[in-house]
Structure 1
Amino acid sequence: MFIDPIADTYRDSCQLVGLCDSSATRRRWHQNRLCSEYGIDSVPDYGVEDFDRMLGETKPDTVIVCVPDYLHHEFIVHSLEFGADVICEKPLTTDADKFAVIDDAVRRTGRSVRTTFNYRWAPGATQVRQLIASGAIGSVKHVDFEYMLNTAHGADYFRRWHSYKELSGGLFVHKSTHHFDLINWWIDSIPETVFAMGSLAFYGRDNAIARGQEPLTRYPRYTGIKESEGDPFRMNLEGDPTLNGLYREAESDSGYIRDENVFRADIDIEDSLSATIRYRSGVIASYSLNAYCPAEGFRVSISGDEGRIEYYERHAAHIITGDRDIKFETNSSRGASLKLQRLFEDSQNIPINMPEGGHGGADPLIQEQMFSPHPPPESLGRNAGHQQGAASLLVGAAGNRSITTGQPVKMMDLFPLSPKATRLSELI
């Protein structure tokens, strides 16, 4: 997503001036790959404790933050105060208090923070936005959004740090921020109130035992454990050179176990989530996420006072390894369908171009915006700053609070995000 386009496609206009990671092993892995694949002999690298020294010595124009979610705000603020702009992986951060720290730093320094919502750049999502903006269904009134993670990709969130809510904000924040942002962007509005429910219904020790699968709970991790062989949820880090180099070989200096058992006892995030969202424009949205489906993808229906859009994507399962995706279900079909039906008219099937590239062809487009010295003009509002990043993460944060309290949560009670604004496009 970041290193490869800088080192390859945009190497004439961008330079990778520093790498920072808590693991020296991972830093060496990246150095070796930069040398072998791109002929880049050496990039200054630093431990996480030397982040400020890296800023001073390398003097970057832009810092890319892709640490665990709960630490985003710390590295963003240090970078802004140094005088650099920031590109940050979604979610921007995990809760309202951390966002307040980021917002204050942006105001104090005058620097910018880009939130990388690559889903906005996917061809199908873009066509949905264009249809709505054209007035094809009139004024939007209601959205239904269902997201399905399967037992390859979905399970992967329960093997690693994402399975602890303190670190990731749970799937409502870490994963659903993509989907909340799509809704926000499609209808060009700002969320107002959230009511949510959620549960850990499939993963975790108690659920496995309740299904009669207690043997799957007997080992803390998968790699190197003979007893785990044959477990359909097993991940073998040593079986893939990227996973082995980034994680297995780095365990001694990082302490990070990448392949924890998905049926262990200490998981505290939900795998089944639903939310109802009211927007400042009056639109009502219903949302659900399920992380243990047999297939992966999403369905969305958008109803207006003149018609309806129905959009569906099926995804090949994958896991995120760092710079590349590892694909599972190599024989599964990716695909999408888009239908428009105006009131009192027959439905229309609208063709979708599905190009190559990460996230359904979205990644090359957003990379061009981030790294090209002359990015093409952008008329659809797909570039997102820190406020638009907050508009989605705060839905997840409000959802988490609603699950805990059993009550609807007003977004303004979490953070006063541009109180006079109605449209997402009014936010940075």
Structure 2
Amino acid sequence: MLAAGTMMEASPLNFAFMGRKLKVVLVGTGIRGITFWGKRLVDTYSDTLEFVGLCDINPGRLAFAQNYMGVKCSTYSNFDQMVQQNQPDLVIVTTTDSTHHEYIIRGLELGCDVLTEKPMTTDEVKCQQIIDAERKHNNKVIVGFNYRWIPYNTKIKELLREETIGKITSVDFNWYLNTYHGASYFRRWHGLRQTGGTLWVHKATHHFDLLNWWLDSDPMEVFAYGDLEHYGSANTFRGKNCRDCKHVDNCDFHWDITQSKMDMNLYVNNEKHDGYIRDNCLFREEINIYDKMSSQIKYANGTVVNYSLTTYSPFEGWRIAFNGTKGRLEAWHDIPYRKENPLSQEELHALEMTQNLKEVEGYKPMILHHLWKDHETVQVPMERGGHGGGDKRLHEKIFKLPNTQDPFDRAAGVRDGAMSILIGIGARKSIESGRPIKIAELTDLEPREKRL
């Protein structure tokens, strides 16, 4: 059990192993679950943890997961049965986003700590239910925000905390998904708002959490625009799926899933169990999320943020600029005209997502401007694999060094998970209503000028 403390304020990572291995169960055996939260933990932390159960509604994926992860634990289709029979210390939730709340809440009720993939959930009602459940039960929720742990992002946090550019007044933040990564969301269940909450929630939760953490404040109000103009019904033709499509020759987005052994074994071979199609058509008419998004966010400390997310960019990366009373900080990632990069956009996406890469050593710059002075370049050591080195650092904190003090406060719990998704939920509601949405309208959490 995590160390006792005030339910909503204590660090969610402060637990001890008590002289034995941490007993872990995993619910949801899709690609993220069995790789990042599965095989990587088995390969790296088997001295401190053991998987005692795997759970999924798809028996084929479940069997593949057990073999791929290299574990001999029991498998289940019934979550309660798995938890009651194994009495785990930690439940890891990697199901579809819209079902996260079910397993988070039930895990807490059954006496477990819970680690959930981002986003914590997909709407304000489910969010409030999770908040209430953690308050009621003597266990904690961890949200797996790996982006905080990327060294480059941590350096931004350090410079802002030291008030290198004074008090932050405004931020411009632009995120670009290329036609490999961005398109992939529209092939999968993420293309349906009822399962993924739209990319305002599923993807942008990462970005909003970074903003909340960097600015050390809570969001207070959001106004947004969004539309579906590129994927889904916006296209003039569509097919059944990429494997069975008559438009292969004139579709720039055609993806041959048969070239991926992992996707074939995990998904295609198990379609018969639940009907989930991994290579769905990007242009099917049921897609009901946005592919272009723009918002303005006002924070409790007065900072105003302009944010945008593009899902069909020629390149993958992001740019951010913090304006302060003493200067300006500019940072970016994988903007192609900023540097020479021999890798294609497809290779960059594969490299960023993999967990088994040799790290690329080097440095990445950010620009620090001071009023009335010349700018300076800050060089930050960089890594390429595993989301810029964030993945391994998050795991190290949770499973190897849970009780060490982190000067950058990167551990994320329920309040962090809530404040990140509430911006996206508010943005979605703003588009639908045409008005600004106050974050305090959504749950009983009151925005704070300074995070605790």
- Contact 1:311-1:336 within 8 A present in 2 as well: no
1:308 is matched with which residue: 323, 328, 341?
328
Larger mean CA deviation between 351-360 and 85-94 belongs to: 351-360
Q: TM-score, normalised by structure 2?
A: 0.85
| Pairing of 1:20-35 with structure 2 (within 5 A) | 20-35=55-70
1:220 is matched with which residue: 236, 240, 248?
240
2:435 is matched with which residue: 384, 407, 421?
407
Shift of 1:255: 1.2
2:252 is matched with which residue: 222, 232, 238?
232
5+ residue gaps, structure 1: 328-333
Distance 1:392 1:200 in 2: 23
Distance 1:197 1:356 in 2: 33
Distance 1:326 1:122 in 2: 14
Distance 1:124 1:15 in 2: 32
SS at the partner of 1:33?
helix
| Pairing of 1:186-201 with structure 2 (within 5 A) | 186-201=214-229
Residues 1:7 and 2:34 are matched in the alignment: no
- Contact 1:121-1:362 within 8 A present in 2 as well: yes
- The aligned counterpart of 2:9 is none
Shift of 1:225: 3.9
**How many residues are aligned here?**
403
| Pairing of 1:39-54 with structure 2 (within 5 A) | 40=71, 42-47=72-77, 50-54=78-82
- Contact 2:201-2:424 within 8 A present in 1 as well: yes
Distance 2:199 2:363 in 1: 24
- The aligned counterpart of 1:330 is none
Q: 1:375 to 1:9 in 2, by over 3 A?
A: farther
CA root-mean-square deviation: 2.2
- The aligned counterpart of 2:450 is 423
Residues 1:386 and 2:406 are matched in the alignment: no
Distance 1:3 1:319 in 2: 23
2:151 is matched with which residue: 114, 123, 126?
123
Shift of 1:45: 0.8
Shift of 1:402: 0.2
Distance 2:169 2:183 in 1: 34
Q: 1:133 to 1:346 in 2, by over 3 A?
A: same
Distance 2:302 2:69 in 1: 50
2:89 is matched with which residue: 51, 61, 67?
61
Shift of 1:31: 1.8
Which digits, 9 at most, give the CA deviation of each residue in 1:385-404, with x for residues without a partner?
01111111000000000000
- Contact 2:52-2:88 within 8 A present in 1 as well: yes
SS at the partner of 1:16?
strand
Which amino acid in the other structure matches residue 113 of structure 1? V
Distance 1:190 1:335 in 2: 31
- Contact 2:323-2:329 within 8 A present in 1 as well: yes
Which digits, 9 at most, give the CA deviation of each residue in 1:166-225, with x for residues without a partner?
1111010111111111111101010000000001121123x222xxxx3xx2x1210244
- Contact 1:152-1:318 within 8 A present in 2 as well: no
Which amino acid in the other structure matches residue 413 of structure 1? E
- Contact 1:320-1:326 within 8 A present in 2 as well: no
| Pairing of 1:104-253 with structure 2 (within 5 A) | 104-205=132-233, 207-209=234-236, 214=237, 217=238, 219-225=239-245, 227-228=247-248, 231-253=251-273
| Pairing of 1:243-392 with structure 2 (within 5 A) | 243-314=263-334, 317=346, 325=354, 336-372=364-400, 376-392=404-420
Q: 1:317 to 1:84 in 2, by over 3 A?
A: farther
Larger mean CA deviation between 354-363 and 145-154 belongs to: 354-363
- The aligned counterpart of 2:54 is 19
Distance 2:64 2:378 in 1: 44
Which amino acid in the other structure matches residue 293 of structure 2? L
Which digits, 9 at most, give the CA deviation of each residue in 1:313-361, with x for residues without a partner?
018557999x96499xxxxxx9843110111111111112112431111
SS at the partner of 2:295?
strand
- Contact 1:91-1:173 within 8 A present in 2 as well: yes
Distance 2:160 2:346 in 1: 29
Larger mean CA deviation between 229-238 and 114-123 belongs to: 229-238
Q: 1:312 to 1:44 in 2, by over 3 A?
A: same
Which digits, 9 at most, give the CA deviation of each residue in 1:70-129, with x for residues without a partner?
101000001000000011111100111001110111011021101111111111111100
Distance 1:298 1:366 in 2: 21
SS at the partner of 2:200?
helix
Shift of 1:131: 0.3
Q: 1:151 to 1:320 in 2, by over 3 A?
A: closer
- The aligned counterpart of 2:119 is 91
Distance 1:358 1:263 in 2: 30
Larger mean CA deviation between 275-284 and 233-242 belongs to: 233-242
Distance 1:163 1:19 in 2: 26
Distance 1:196 1:318 in 2: 32
Which digits, 9 at most, give the CA deviation of each residue in 1:231-275, with x for residues without a partner?
321222221111111110010012101111111212110000000
Which amino acid in the other structure matches residue 94 of structure 2? C
Shift of 1:418: 3.6
Which amino acid in the other structure matches residue 55 of structure 2? C
Distance 2:279 2:243 in 1: 7
Shift of 1:279: 0.5
Which digits, 9 at most, give the CA deviation of each residue in 1:398-425, with x for residues without a partner?
0000000000010111112145x3223x
Distance 1:375 1:153 in 2: 36
Which amino acid in the other structure matches residue 423 of structure 1? K
Which amino acid in the other structure matches residue 350 of structure 1? V
SS at the partner of 2:379?
coil
Which amino acid in the other structure matches residue 265 of structure 1? E
